[in-house]
Structure 1
Amino acid sequence: VQVWHPNATVGTTVAGDPNGVAGWTNVNMYIIDNGNSRVLLWSPGASVGTTIAGTTGINANSTSSFGQAWTMAVDTSNSRIYLADLWYNRIMVWPFFANDSSYIIPLSDIVGVTIDIGGNVYATTHHLNTVTRFPAGSTSGTVIISSGLSLPWALRFDQYGNLYVANTGSGTIVMFCAGFAANSTGSIVVSGLNQPVDIAFDSQMNMYVCEYGNHRVVKLAKSP
């Protein structure tokens, strides 16, 4: 894992051998370490991370372990994470530093997960090309997007409540405006990407896209 400061031409390595960096919130970094079946919290300046979820070295279909996860949502207000466990077809809701997940949401073919300001959970199913919404605290969801997607991966909300979905199949980012109706098609806001797999925003609403097919991160400045 490398930290890249604004306008830098090289990054600084702060962690090794992860399968995915899930987020940077309140200056702490959260890393999915699939190789060791755990999630790490990495504080600024730290030389090692602290395990906040998972059982180091144990890959299992249990409440205390996970299989293979590529994305997660971090809820710092309630000190918990939502982990998309692709291998075992589930979302694991995990309090920080707990030995076990507090509850599990079953969902086949899941790769992306995020939450809105109300704690509702949204997840992408990769080959079904859908987004499912789970009310806060519920394990029963409803498909709210079933068209206009092509092998969706990550999905994120911006500070205004708009939802963005990364389509690895079509190389696009699709936006659904805040309060969108179920089964809306959304609007393509970015195209021409090579397998986008993650999305993030900074405080100025610039968008950052992890472009897996080109092994790079693309910064897209906010429109004037």
Structure 2
Amino acid sequence: MLKIGHRGAKGHVPENTIESFLKAFELGAHGIELDVHLSADEEAVVIHDETVDRTIKNAAGFVKDFTVAECQKIGIPTLVEAFHLLPENAFLNIEIKEPKATKTIVAEIEKFVRLKEINYQNIVVSAFNWEVLKEIKALNEAIQLGVLTENNIEAAFEFATKIKAYSIHPYFKLLTQEFIQKAKENEFKIHTWTVNSPEDITFVKNFGVDAIISDFPDRL
């Protein structure tokens, strides 16, 4: 089972920062999950919200209005920086928050695979907007896709089947033993999120999922 740090080690260090990613690996994570938007100059930058207000002190406004240099100045890393800090064979879950970022992200993945700095099997790209996953499939079939769902696990299964996804990423409270069995029979990996309390972690582990995404990778 993969232990994946949610936005790094969000329970310990500010989310989606270089420090948070490094902390996750220090705490024993096999991989990290991070979120991507586009900067004003169309670089892939790592931040969850469409604005900087919640996560960045003394800054406000839409991410799309900040250049990549301005993002870095206020502590928002680029996707390229995240690639560079990955330990060998670490797993990376890129969640696309802004559909316009899709082509840029695909190009960055392709570049790092060409440079032999990462393998396709060590990356999954996920999104709640399933049209994004369709676009990636059309651009590069080698990129593994994860179908995110917060409320409809059966619809996620149907869509995953349709696009030949690698994994299904359900909110952990949607899990049932029947669904896990069906997913495994159809060769889908199950990466569930965001599982933080010891009780919930035990509950989810009993299902035999393939990966748990947590703010506290040290608890997994």
Q: TM-score, normalised by structure 2?
A: 0.32
Q: Which structure is higher in helix share?
A: 2
TM-score normalised by structure 1 residue count: 0.32
